Chain A
Amino acid sequence: MSKTTEQVRQSLAKRYRAEKRFRAFGIASIAFGLLALLLLFTDIIGKGHTAFFEHYIQMEVTFDADTLGIDDATNQDQLNFANYDGVIRNALRERFPQVQSRGQKRELYSLISTGAGYPLRDMLASHPALLGQTRTLWLLADDDVDQYFKADRQGREDSRLTPEQKAWLTSLDDNGQVKKEFNASFFTSGDSREPELAGIWGAVCGSFFTMLVTLLLSFPIGVAAAIYLEEFAPRNRFTDFIEVNINNLAAVPSIIFGLLGLAIFIGLFGMPRSVPLVGGIVLTLMTLPTIIISSRAAIKAVPPSIREAAMGLGASPMQVVLHHVMPLAMPGMLTGAIIGMAQALGETAPLLMIGMVAFIVDVPAGPVDPATVLPVQIYLWADSPEQSFVALTSAAIMVLLAFLIAMNTLAVFLRKRLERRW
């Protein structure tokens, strides 16, 4: 064997070892990433899954006209001011006639959620004939009760409930008067001070409208800016200056954009506080640099030969852009937009500045209704003292992640549709 062959062989062995090391390193990094993700998910799902169920207590409720304080169940005003809590209390007292003292009564009443009366109102509104009748109904339990039933043995002992309350609940449970149900209201209602009534829908809608405004503003503006800078702008000091500043903007802390939004959109232009429209505009400012930078990269990647071909056939610069550059760069531009939108979706700080952190119960119906957004909702719940909000926080994180996954899936789908692999 010649000397060269021997040398080549040795260097080859070295090279293979290096390649192996490199691959092992890559796999280790990915495994680490996946592990972190897995931990995150287990933790969140472990904590949050209980929030998707809640407990109901069965009661014999009499729609007593005197207690309700109404005489006409078709009158909206009367329905709105009727004392539904009163009939629920009556039902509780009837179920546990031995409870006499005021303190004990208060403890008894607190087993049922303060929001349990709303369904009664709706029932009465749709069936006025119920007035004066008795029905067996499932009433939403208070969050402490809910926690008690969800807890294990140790958790039940540590519960905030008094021994009497625990005894009553055991009695109800033994009678089959307690049930666990899917927490649909979590997905349909807005925020509430009561954990068992609080829902994510308000924040989902707020996030949706905010994202909509952000997308509608930032994508066209970002793409137009990128196209202008790449295809039309002369190369001079001024455009260099713009370029540097776009890159700088991408690094500005997001809370600065919030301050800007507060000072300009709310202070100067008098736009309302706490609304998705202003939130969307602020997040647009934040998202624009990302979209511009990635769109420019996508435009740069379009082969110049395609531009020449079109130009050689007599296409105007605008036609070259519309017919050739845009379609070819679109997948890359979309990716940039999605990355920007995903950042914007998780952004809290600038929205705090423009008042989207307010406690808002109503589900927003449009971009100018006061609203909060998912990450702010998470922040608010994580900050709440009630034990039940821990699960709600995790559940809200799951919803945020689902929102994110949905957005990314849509982006991947769009990319696949638009990408030309030829």
Chain B
Amino acid sequence: MDNASTLNKGQQVRRAANPLQAEGKPPMSNEHPYPEKTVGAPFVDDPKMRMRDVDVFYGDKQAIHGVSLDIGKNEVVALIGPSGCGKSTFLRSLNRMNDTIDICRVSGSLHLEEQDLYDPKMDVVELRARVGMVFQKPNPFPKSIYDNVAYGPRLHGLANKKYDLDEIVETSLRKAGLWEEVKDRLHQPGTGLSGGQQQRLCIARTIAVSPEVVLMDEPCSALDPIATAKIEELIAELSESYTIAIVTHSMQQAARVSQRTAYFHLGHLVEMNDTDTVFTKPQHSLTEAYITGRFG
């Protein structure tokens, strides 16, 4: 805990803004005090991404309150929590997708290895090439399957020859487990695929630019169980070469795919720990209440 003291100070100031009380609801019960700081082990040694005291505001409304956590190299981190608790907001601040929302403001320190994400000198294009994103709803471009995957490499000039581009497209589709299904119809529209295939196409599109981190915002929420299983399998495979942060609504999914899990509650990071620990021995009563299905 390198900067625990600053963390504490920050948390003290925010103490008054206990969201449960702020919303006029009584606390869950006496054993459910809102944590002053995240319980568990939000930090790791030599992390891929390091976030400290992250606040995110939409206009005057604060959506993320002083979240600090690390994402380790080649690990899958699951972000869980009731809907509206700020999981997407936090995830989107990791590759500055929030920049596209006028009223959104991010403060705190966010680093990808040694680089400050919000450094004015940081190039957003480069950042997004290094930190890719897969969205909740499959959103292939209304172009051919090939062009969907080739878009990123073309944008960043990763392949100068048609041959190289073909190779990137094939390997990306193979990694996304889609190659066998689409190799004969590469030049047909990507939007003609099924929902699960579309989402795998979006994953292929994201990994075609060889990002270091892949952010996934509920990638399976629009898919049927079989497609979901395929994507989960894929996440396990991808974690060998990529660092992954995945927001999920499903606790089973978090348990299946992730090594560590972070539980968000109304914009606060309540608890973060090894996935097993979070699901078997939650240390905070709010986490316990959530994973036992008492609210969500």
Partners in one complex: yes
| Chain A residues proximal to chain B, CB less than 8 Å | 234-235, 303, 305-316, 319, 323-324, 328, 420, 422
Instruction: Please choose the segment from B36-44, B151-159, B241-249, B266-274 that sits at the chain A interface, where 4 or more of its residues have CB less than 8 A away.
Output: B151-159
Q: Does B142 lie within 8 Å of A422, measured CB to CB? A: yes
CB of B179 within 8 Å of the partner chain? no
Q: Does A305 lie within 8 Å of B97, measured CB to CB? A: no
Q: Does B202 lie within 8 Å of A420, measured CB to CB? A: no
Quote the shortest CB–CB distance from B68 to chain A (angstroms). 25
Q: Could you list 19 examples of A-B contacts with CB < 8 Å? A: A306-B139, A308-B100, A308-B135, A308-B139, A309-B139, A309-B202, A310-B141, A312-B128, A312-B135, A313-B151, A313-B152, A313-B155, A313-B209, A314-B152, A314-B156, A315-B125, A316-B125, A328-B142, A420-B142
Alpha-carbon distance A420/B144, docked complex (angstroms): 11
Q: Does A312 lie within 8 Å of B192, measured CB to CB? A: no
Q: Does A314 lie within 8 Å of B126, measured CB to CB? A: yes
Alpha-carbon distance A48/B165, docked complex (angstroms): 62
Please pick, from B102, B142, B206, the residue contacting A313 in the complex, using a CB distance under 8 A: B206
Give chain B residues whose Cβ lies under 8 Å from the Cβ of A310: 141, 151
CB of B220 within 8 Å of the partner chain? no
Secondary structure dominating the interface of A: helix
Measured CB to CB, the nearest residue on chain A to B139 is: A305
Give chain A residues whose Cβ lies under 8 Å from the Cβ of B206: 312-313
Alpha-carbon distance A419/B28, docked complex (angstroms): 54
Give chain B residues whose Cβ lies under 8 Å from the Cβ of A235: 102
Q: Does A311 lie within 8 Å of B97, measured CB to CB? A: yes
Measured CB to CB, the nearest residue on chain A to B215 is: A312
CB of B197 within 8 Å of the partner chain? no
Secondary structure dominating the interface of B: helix
Scan residues 117-162 of chain B and give those whose CB is less than 8 A from a CB of chain A: 124-129, 132-133, 135, 137, 139-142, 151-152, 155-156
Scan residues 80-116 of chain B and give those whose CB is less than 8 A from a CB of chain A: 95, 97, 100, 102
CB of B189 within 8 Å of the partner chain? yes
| Chain B residues proximal to chain A, CB less than 8 Å | 95, 97, 100, 102, 124-129, 132-133, 135, 137, 139-142, 151-152, 155-156, 189, 191-192, 202, 205-206, 209
Quote the shortest CB–CB distance from B152 to chain A (angstroms). 4
Given contacts A308-B100, A314-B125, contact A324 B141 (CB under 8 A): yes
Q: Does A312 lie within 8 Å of B102, measured CB to CB? A: no
Give chain B residues whose Cβ lies under 8 Å from the Cβ of A422: 142, 189, 191-192
Q: Does A309 lie within 8 Å of B102, measured CB to CB? A: no
Q: Does A312 lie within 8 Å of B97, measured CB to CB? A: yes
Q: Does B128 lie within 8 Å of A311, measured CB to CB? A: yes
Please pick, from A308, A315, A420, the residue contacting B155 in the complex, using a CB distance under 8 A: A315
Give chain B residues whose Cβ lies under 8 Å from the Cβ of A316: 125
Alpha-carbon distance A316/B205, docked complex (angstroms): 17
Measured CB to CB, the nearest residue on chain B to A308 is: B135
Q: Does B155 lie within 8 Å of A312, measured CB to CB? A: no
Alpha-carbon distance A234/B129, docked complex (angstroms): 26
Give chain B residues whose Cβ lies under 8 Å from the Cβ of A311: 97, 100, 128
Residue among A306, A311, A323, A420 with max Cβ neighbours from chain B (10 Å): A311
Alpha-carbon distance A305/B97, docked complex (angstroms): 12
Nearest 10 Cβ contacts at the A-B interface: A422-B189, A305-B139, A314-B128, A312-B133, A313-B152, A314-B125, A309-B139, A314-B129, A422-B191, A420-B142
Alpha-carbon distance A305/B126, docked complex (angstroms): 21
Measured CB to CB, the nearest residue on chain A to B144 is: A422
Alpha-carbon distance A319/B152, docked complex (angstroms): 12
Give chain A residues whose Cβ lies under 8 Å from the Cβ of B95: 312
Quote the shortest CB–CB distance from A64 to chain B (angstroms). 76
Q: Does A308 lie within 8 Å of B97, measured CB to CB? A: yes
Quote the shortest CB–CB distance from B248 to chain A (angstroms). 18
Measured CB to CB, the nearest residue on chain A to B124 is: A314
Give chain B residues whose Cβ lies under 8 Å from the Cβ of A313: 128-129, 132, 151-152, 155, 205-206, 209
Quote the shortest CB–CB distance from A231 to chain B (angstroms). 10
Quote the shortest CB–CB distance from A237 to chain B (angstroms). 14
Give chain A residues whose Cβ lies under 8 Å from the Cβ of B141: 306, 309-310, 324
Alpha-carbon distance A235/B209, docked complex (angstroms): 33
Give chain A residues whose Cβ lies under 8 Å from the Cβ of B192: 422
Give chain A residues whose Cβ lies under 8 Å from the Cβ of B155: 313-315, 319
Q: Does B97 lie within 8 Å of A314, measured CB to CB? A: no
Q: Does B137 lie within 8 Å of A312, measured CB to CB? A: no
Measured CB to CB, the nearest residue on chain A to B130 is: A314
Please pick, from B124, B126, B129, B135, the residue contacting A309 in the complex, using a CB distance under 8 A: B135
